[in-house]
C-alpha cells in the first residue's frame, strides 16, 4: 500500500523557488522507489507573500501548513523588503510561522562531509570528523519576550527594548528534547548560557542541571556563550550535542555551520509537540545569485531527508536521499559555493539531475 503525505511547500524568496524545484523532483523519485505519494501544495511566505498580499505570513498560509503532515520551507528575505516596517518584514513572517506552529525546538546538525573538508576555512585536522547537533530554543527568549519596542523616555530620548525571558516550562521542554537527542548520539550534552551575568541564564542552568538526574547516561557540561563561540572554532570536535536559547543558538549555529565548509550544505528541523514540523536549510535566500541557476540545492534536499526521518518517520527514504547526496559529492560534482580544484562545477538544476541519477 502506498502511504500518502500532505506536504506544504514554502518556496519564499531569492534562490528559494529554484532549490524547492530540485527538491520536489528528488522527493518524487524517492517516493516512487519507496511507495510514498506526496501531495504538494505551495503557499506564499516572506517577500513573495508581501508582494501578493501585503503581509509576510498570510493566514491562509498558516492554515495550509497546519493541515499538512510536514512543511518544507526554502528561504525568505531580500533587499527590496528591508526598508519595510518590522511588522511587514519577511523575517517577521518566519517568526510568526515558528510561533504559530509552536515549533519550539530547532535542530541544526553541523556534520562535515569528508569530501568537503578542504572547503572549510579551518585546518583539516581541526574540522575533520566534526559532527555537532545544535538544539536551539525557537519560540522564546529575547526574540519574543515582552516588553519590546522603541519607546520615548521622559527626557525625550528614544529607548529600544527587548526582553530576554524564559519560564521554567520553556526551559524544561527544550532541555528534554536535547537530552533525548544526546541519548541517541554520543551522550554528551553541552548547555550554553550567560549565567555569570544574566538571571534568565541562571534559571536556564538550574533547570537543565536538575533535569540531568533523569538522564544518568548523559554527560552534561555548561559553557558561557562567549567561551562556547571560541571553543567552536578552536576545538569543535569536543562538542556532540549543544542546547541553548534562541539568540545564542542563532549565532552559534551559523558558526557551527561554517565549520563544515559551506552553510549551503546544512539542513534543519523545527519541531513542536505535534504535527506538523518545519524543515528548512540553514542558509538564507541569497538574493545575489537568485535566478541564475547557481544555488546549491543540497541543504534543501537534505532538509527533505530530515523531513522524512523526523517528521514522517520514513527513515529508509531519508537514507536514500542522504546516500544520493554522498554519491554526487563522491563523483566530484560541486556547486560554486563548495567548488575546489579538479571538481566538476554544476548548476542548481544539473545538481538535481545528478541526484536523480544517483537515486
What are the residues binding Mg ion (CB under 5 A)?
250
d(CA 34, CA 247): 39
Spatial separation of the C-alpha atoms in residues 297 and 218, rounded to whole Å:
35
290 binds ligand IPM (CB under 6 A): no
> Vertex 98, ends 220 and 178: CA angle to 5°?
15
In Å, how far from its chain's centre is CA 337? 18
By CB under 6 A, is residue 250 in contact with ligand IPM?
yes
DSSP state of 347: -
87 as an active site residue: the answer is no
- Under the binding rule (CB under 6 A), the answer on residue 94 touching ligand IPM is yes
Helical ranges in 1-145 per DSSP H: 16-34, 47-53, 59-66, 90-100, 124-127
Which grid coordinates are listed for 355? 541526484
Q: For residue 79, indicate whether it is catalytic.
A: no
Report if residue 91 touches ligand IPM, rule: CB under 6 A: yes
94 binds, among Mg ion, ligand IPM, none (CB under 5 to 8 A by kind): ligand IPM
Grid cell listed for 211: 533535569
Which of ligand IPM, Mg ion, none has residue 193 at its interface (CB below 5 to 8 Å by kind)?
none
Which residue among the candidates 143, 166, 215, 333 is catalytic per the annotation?
A: 143
Q: Which of 254, 275, 293, 310 is catalytic?
A: 254
C-alpha cell read off for 61: 498560509
| Smallest separation, CB 250 to Mg ion (Å) | 4
Which of ligand IPM, Mg ion, none binds 358 (CB below 5-8 Å, type-dependent)?
A: none
Compare residues 138 and 295 and give the one whose CB is closer to ligand IPM: 138
Q: Does 142 bind ligand IPM (CB under 6 A)?
A: no
* Partner from ligand IPM, Mg ion, none contacting 21, C-beta within 5 to 8 A by type: none
| Residue 250 is among the residues annotated as catalytic for this protein | yes
How many other CB atoms are there within 10 angstroms of residue 97's CB atom?
Answer: 24
Beta bridge partners of 41: 8
Q: Which is nearer to ligand IPM, 21 or 137 (CB)?
A: 137
354 counts as binding ligand IPM under rule CB under 6 A = no
From the CB of 114, what's the least distance to ligand IPM, in Å?
26
Q: Counting Cβ atoms within 10 Å, is residue 114 exposed (0-12), middle (13-18) or buried (19+)?
A: exposed
Instruction: Spell out the residues 6+ positions from residue 93 whose beta carbon is closer than 8 angstroms to its own.
Output: 45, 46, 49, 50, 55, 56, 57, 76
- The DSSP output letter for 208 is H
Work out how close the CB of 275 gets to Mg ion at its nearest, in angstroms, rounded to a whole number: 25
Instruction: Return the number of the residue (84 or 356) whose C-beta is nearest ligand IPM.
Output: 84
Instruction: Find the catalytic residue in 250, 294, 333, 337.
Output: 250
Catalytic residues: 143, 194, 226, 250, 254
Q: Footprint of ligand IPM on this chain (CB under 6 A)?
A: 91, 94, 250
Amino acid at each position: 500500500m502506498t502511504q500518502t503525505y500532505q506536504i506544504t511547500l514554502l518556496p519564499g524568496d531569492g534562490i528559494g523557488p529554484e532549490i524547492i524545484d530540485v527538491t520536489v523532483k528528488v522527493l518524487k523519485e524517492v517516493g516512487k522507489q519507496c511507495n510514498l505519494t506526496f501531495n504538494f501544495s505551495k503557499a506564499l511566505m516572506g517577500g513573495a507573500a508581501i508582494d501578493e498580499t501585503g503581509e509576510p505570513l498570510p493566514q491562509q498560509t498558516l492554515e495550509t501548513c497546519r493541515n499538512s503532515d510536514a512543511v518544507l520551507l526554502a528561504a525568505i528575505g531580500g533587499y527590496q523588503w528591508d526598508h519595510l516596517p518590522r511588522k511587514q518584514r519577511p523575517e517577521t513572517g518566519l517568526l510568526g510561522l515558528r510561533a504559530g506552529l509552536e515549533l519550539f525546538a530547532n535542530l541544526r546538525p553541523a556534520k562535515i562531509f569528508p569530501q568537503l573538508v578542504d572547503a572549510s576555512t579551518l585546518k583539516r585536522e581541526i574540522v575533520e570528523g566534526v559532527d555537532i547537533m545544535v538544539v536551539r530554543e525557537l519560540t522564546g527568549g529575547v526574540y519574543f519576550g515582552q516588553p519590546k519596542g522603541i519607546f520615548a523616555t521622559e527626557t525625550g530620548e528614544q529607548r529600544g527594548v527587548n526582553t530576554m525571558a524564559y519560564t521554567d516550562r520553556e526551559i524544561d521542554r527544550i532541555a528534554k528534547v536535547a537530552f533525548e537527542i544526546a541519548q541517541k548520539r554520543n551522550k554528551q550534552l553541552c548547555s550554553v548560557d550567560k549565567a555569570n551575568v544574566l538571571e534568565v541564564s541562571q534559571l536556564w542552568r538550574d533547570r537543565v542541571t536538575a533535569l540531568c538526574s533523569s538522564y544518568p547516561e548523559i554527560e552534561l557540561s555548561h559553557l558561557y556563550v562567549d567561551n562556547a563561540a571560541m571553543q567552536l572554532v578552536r576545538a569543535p570536535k569536543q562538542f556532540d550535542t549543544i542546547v541553548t536559547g534562541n539568540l545564542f543558538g542563532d549565532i552559534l549555529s551559523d558558526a557551527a555551520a561554517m565549520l563544515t565548509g559551506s552553510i549551503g550544505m546544512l539542513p534543519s528541523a523545527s519541531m513542536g509537540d505535534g504535527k506538523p514540523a518545519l524543515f528548512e536549510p540553514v542558509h538564507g535566500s541569497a538574493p545575489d545569485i537568485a535566478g541564475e541557476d547557481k544555488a546549491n540545492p543540497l541543504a534543501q534536499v537534505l532538509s527533505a531527508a530530515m523531513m522524512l526521518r523526523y517528521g514522517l518517520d520514513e527513515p529508509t527514504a531519508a537514507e536514500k536521499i542522504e546516500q544520493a547526496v554522498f554519491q554526487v559529492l563522491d563523483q566530484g560534482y560541486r556547486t560554486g559555493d563548495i567548488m575546489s580544484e579538479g571538481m566538476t562545477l554544476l548548476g542548481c538544476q544539473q545538481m538535481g539531475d545528478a541526484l536523480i541519477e544517483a537515486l
